[in-house]
Homo-oligomer: A and B are copies of this chain.
Amino acid sequence: MAAQNFAGVLVPVLTPFTAEGEPDARRHAAFCRWLLDEGAAGLAIFGTTSEANSLSPTERMKLLDRLIEAGIPAAKLMPGTGACALTDAADLVRHAVGHGCGGVLMLPPFYYKGVPDDGIFAFISRVIEKVGSPALRMYLYHIPPVAVIGYSLDLVGRFIKAYPQTVVGLKDSSGDWNNTAALLERYPGFAIFPGSEIFLLEGLRHGAAGTITATGNINTGGIRKLYDDWQKPEADALQAEITRMRKVLQGYTVIPALKRVIAHFWRDPGWAAVRPPLMPLDEAQSARLLSDLERIGFRLGARSKAEAA
């Protein structure tokens, strides 16, 4: 199996929009820089939380170009490159590899339902072969609650066997610890990232590589602390703390809620914008969210470089 490029807390970075609804490259780069300063080990830009599937492939590629121009290290980036059409997916993967990204996060094709594992295998294989680069490191993105289509345990094994140097890990956003545990047990050395920090401590105890989690957008430091200290006596208390925070967020539509938190703490109302079909929280929801967060003593990490950007 190939050497791993990523371990620790990865953040599926929120995508800010301009008043005209275009991806905001300036705010995006500043936010990425801040997340790295806060302790993110990597940036899974263009994940579900990034509203990546609400961006065209061209918009995604341009935004990545701008991040690289802004000096965000490509080695820290794991862009989402999934698409329903293998031609789009291959273009996105090729572009990410061309920039030297540390990896790519790969959704299965998600329009057709009930497709056989053979069909998903053929899709991903053709993407890998079309790109044809030994530099490619692919992380499978398993998120059946949203994509509906997912990677079964057996299918993951087929990829590891067929592409041991290329398919090197998986983000498990099934929300099902039993699935994560089964992956960890069956595929040691394969980098498994639970898709929620709720499973971080249990995951690390069973060999997980870290976590790639939406809440990392506003709680990077807290989650990172558990990652650093998971073998210390206070680990369970740290887990309880980040779980409490996560549960507050889960009471809301998570993507607009996260953006609302950034908009509030940075006094930048434009940050709350989402692209349809998502909708922003209304005023009542926003007020309740902020009061819920205040009650648990939440504070956003230091503003640092993003403020100056």
Report which A residues bind B (CB closer than 8 A).
Answer: 21, 48, 53-59, 83-88, 91, 108-113, 115-116, 118-120, 122-123, 126, 145-149, 275-279
What residues on B are CB-neighbors of A83 within 8 Å? 56
Q: Are A112 and B59 CB-contacts (below 8 A) given A119-B277, A278-B119?
A: no
What residues on B are CB-neighbors of A126 within 8 Å? 21, 276
Q: List 12 A-B contacts (CB under 8 A).
A: A53-B111, A54-B85, A84-B84, A109-B277, A111-B147, A113-B145, A116-B277, A119-B276, A119-B278, A120-B276, A122-B276, A149-B277
Selected from B57, B122, B145, B146, the residue in CB contact (under 8 A) with A277 is B122
Q: Are A277 and B53 in contact (CB under 8 A)?
A: no
Taking A54-B84, A112-B146 as given, write out 10 further A-B residue pairs in contact, using a Cβ cutoff of 8 Å, ordered by the A residue number: A53-B84, A56-B83, A56-B91, A112-B278, A113-B148, A116-B277, A119-B276, A122-B277, A148-B148, A149-B277
A91 CA / B56 CA spacing, docked (Å): 10
Q: Are A275 and B54 in contact (CB under 8 A)?
A: no
What residues on B are CB-neighbors of A278 within 8 Å? 112, 115, 119
What residues on B are CB-neighbors of A87 within 8 Å? 55-56, 58-59
A55 CA / B91 CA spacing, docked (Å): 12
A275 CA / B147 CA spacing, docked (Å): 19
Q: Are B54 and A111 in contact (CB under 8 A)?
A: yes
Q: Are A86 and B120 CB-contacts (below 8 A) given A57-B56, A110-B111, A112-B53?
A: no
Q: Are B85 and A279 in contact (CB under 8 A)?
A: no
A148 CA / B126 CA spacing, docked (Å): 26
What residues on B are CB-neighbors of A275 within 8 Å? 86
What residues on B are CB-neighbors of A147 within 8 Å? 111
Nearest CB to that of A60 among chain B residues?
B85
Q: Are B85 and A53 in contact (CB under 8 A)?
A: yes
Nearest CB to that of A83 among chain B residues?
B56
Q: Are B148 and A277 in contact (CB under 8 A)?
A: no
Q: Are A122 and B85 CB-contacts (below 8 A) given A111-B53, A146-B112?
A: no
Q: Are A108 and B53 in contact (CB under 8 A)?
A: no
A62 CB to closest chain B CB (Å) equals: 11
A169 CA / B110 CA spacing, docked (Å): 26
What residues on B are CB-neighbors of A111 within 8 Å? 48, 53-54, 110, 146-147
Nearest CB to that of A274 among chain B residues?
B119
